Structure 1
Amino acid sequence: MAAKPRDPEAMLDTILLLAGDAERPVLAEALRRAEPGIRVVAAGTVRDLPDTLETARLIAFVFPEIVPAGVLQRLGYGAYNFHPGPPEYPGWIPAAFALYDGAARFGATLHEMTSWVDSGTICDVEGFDVPADCALQGLESLAYAACLRLFERWAEALVSPLKPPRLPLRWGARKCTRRLFAELAQVPEGASEEEGRRRARAFGSGPLDI
């Protein structure tokens, strides 16, 4: 189903922010400072979004819920997501998969949202070197900090009717999923000691509710 064409007279007047409990008040205030005349609706779940979306833009910050395609299609000014991983690692808990691969670089991505998770056009990437002794929690913290830097860099642009620029970058072909996480968290019988260490470093302290 194609998105309904936006009424050219319907100007951007609302920012819908999806974020966690700790982030919502801080990020909402930053958006209001960037554009004092904008209305910011901060929500902790998709269910709390308003029904009227024609004059709104959605911003999701390290947000675990999938935004339904019907909501995305009704947004007059699009939707943007801050993903705690670089384009090479789309999907769930990308830091774990980067550690398993032995990636030397990691980061965070700002991208347009589509009905397919982590597949929209990439707007910006904040990268950094992975510390040699980094484990999952540490890499996730570094990726979160990279998301905050991206947010600070783009807050003013995101409250503007204009779209952020688009980069000619592609998402990685492998999607990081809960199922793949669970599979790799199990060390197969006969695996080498090195393989066991790789999996323990990447998945050993991961979440249990997978």
Structure 2
Amino acid sequence: MNRCLILLTDPEPVPDLIRRLRSDDRGLGLKVAHSLGHLEKALAEAPPRVRLMAFCSGVVVPPALLKALPGPAYNLHPGPPEVRGLYPSVHAIYQGLPTFGTTLHEMAEGVDSGPIVAVDRFPMPAPAERWRLDRLSLASALAMVGRLAPQLADIDTPLPHLPDVQWSGPAHRRADFEALCQLPSRIDAAEFDRRYRAVGEGPEHALSIRIFGQRFVLDNQRDPAAASRAGRSRR
């Protein structure tokens, strides 16, 4: 193996990614990293001809590591160029955007700031809910990898930039996400519904509210007893 593509990603999409990348070039060595530590180890063991591609990963690659690579590293961002940073689906739904998509770009020191090489867009689903949008975004990202597999495998040739496509808007941080999760004490039904659809369910991103110095977290699991009572007709 004299050339290698390192994938920085979560474990779930790895089989699909490897299948799509190897469909056009079976001589390409592939390594997978799930954390910064894994990435550093993979790079230390990689041949000189190496390319790094992050796929929907939350790991921040240090600038010094990017500079040590022989060519550009790429990141597949699960959002369009106008929704930068963390949790793009959340912010797109909250902003009421009519379209969403995925963006492949060169990694740079700033978050989602490097030259863009590919964009895929699709209409926002109706209703716009986070779980649905995240599934569409993952499918879009995998399809983009499949289309660009030959170029990504050609690790000696940088992918051409899209000169007319630029990043816009703020780079959302974790603090921005947490602010959406924290419900104001006076909230109307429309704003609650907007945040609920954007933030979604789950222990890592549940809505919460602070009352009298106590924080209460939304538990939107249906109570069987309450559901049973609700289903009874009044007499």
TM-score where L is the length of structure 2? 0.78
Unpaired segments ≥5 residues, structure 2: 207-235
Shift of 1:17: 1.2
- Structure 2: distance between partners of 1:179 and 1:32: 38
- Structure 1: distance between partners of 2:104 and 2:181: 28
Shift of 1:37: 2.4
Answering whether residue 17 of structure 2 is matched by residue 27 of structure 1, we say: yes
Match of 1:93 among 87, 90, 101: 87
Percent identical: 35
1:51-109 deviation digits (Å, cap 9, x = unpaired): 25742110111111111112111111221111110001111110000110111100111
- SS of 2:10's partner is coil
TM-score where L is the length of structure 1? 0.87
- Larger-Rg structure: 2
> Equivalent residue for 1:192?
188
Counterpart residue identity of residue 148, structure 1: L
Counterpart residue identity of residue 83, structure 2: Y
Shift of 1:199: 1.2
Pairs within 5 Å for 1:60-209: 60-160=54-154, 161-167=156-162, 168-205=164-201, 208=204
Higher strand share: 2
- Structure 2: distance between partners of 1:17 and 1:181: 26
Contact 1:90/1:176 (8 A) holds in 2: yes
Deviates more, 1:14-23 or 1:75-84: 14-23
Pairs within 5 Å for 1:14-53: 14-48=4-38, 49-51=42-44
Shift of 1:44: 2.0
Superposed CA RMSD: 2.0
- SS of 2:43's partner is coil
Counterpart residue identity of residue 162, structure 1: T
Contact 1:15/1:39 (8 A) holds in 2: yes
Deviates more, 1:182-191 or 1:84-93: 182-191
- Structure 2: distance between partners of 1:42 and 1:187: 39
User: Which structure 1 residue ranges, 4+ long, deviate > 3 Å from structure 2?
Assistant: none
Q: Quickly say closer, same or farther: Cα 1:40–1:24, change in 2 above 3 A.
A: same
Number of positions where the alignment pairs a residue of Structure 1 with one of Structure 2: 199
- Structure 1: distance between partners of 2:176 and 2:80: 18
